[in-house]
Amino acid sequence: MLEAKAKPVDVAVGILTRENGDVLLGQRPAGKPYAGYWEFPGGKVEPGEDVFSALQREFVEELGVTIVSAEPWCCVEHVYEHAHVRLYFYISRDWRGEPQSLEGQAFAWQGLVDVTPLLPATIPLLEWLDQLRYARTGS
Ligand SMILES: Nc1nc2c([nH]c(=O)n2[C@H]2C[C@H](O)[C@@H](COP(=O)(O)OP(=O)(O)OP(=O)(O)O)O2)c(=O)[nH]1
């Protein structure tokens, strides 16, 4: 039966960038589906919450970081065995604080991302992100 997967769950995901272009990834803690997989920080949008507010809340809860502003980048849907998710990716260069591991998760700033394994729905995003970050003209 596909019924449980029919209605997508909205998820707010943030790509926090530093001035040198590095982006922040986190590792999913034990007890969650795909524990140990790397992802961009974020989480499910709660009922009555808008996506950007969910993004701000998740970053405070998980990392103690305040997102001042972020631009919506892209939206990707993926059907896992545990859920059908609709991921809203934001890019933020304007944030405050120093990331802390408030849920016991590992995190890492990455240039060219080389942490594995990555959540399946996030893998294609990295290629697009590298095009954005490291696009070269000419040559
Ligand atoms: N944060 C995040 N989630 C992702 C990414 N890629 C991807 O497929 N997902 C999926 C995995 C999960 O099914 C879903 C996020 O839900 P979650 O369980 O981590 O959310 P949450 O922190 O609100 O968790 P909880 O309250 O239910 O414990 O989105 C990504 O890059 N970042």
pLDDT in tens, the chain (139 residues): 445 556 899 999 999 999 999 999 999 999 999 999 999 999 999 999 999 999 999 999 999 999 999 999 999 999 999 999 999 999 999 999 999 999 999 999 999 999 999 999 999 999 999 998 888 654 4
What lines the ligand 1 site, CB under 6 Å?
A: 11, 13, 32-33, 39-44, 78, 80, 83, 85, 87, 119, 121-122
Q: Does domain 3-133 have CATH number 3.90.79.10?
A: yes
In b/e form, how buried is each residue of 104-130, taking b as 16+ CB within 10 angstroms?
Answer: ebebeeeeebeeeebbebbeebbeebe
CB 92 within 8 A of CB 24: no
The pTM (predicted TM-score) of the whole model is 0.93
Q: What is the residue extent of each domain of the chain?
A: 3-133
Q: Could you tell me the distance, in angstroms and rounded to a whole number, from the CA of residue 43 to the centre of ligand 1?
A: 5
The strand pair at 84-96 and 9-16 is best described as: parallel
pLDDT tens column, 97-106: 999 999 999 9
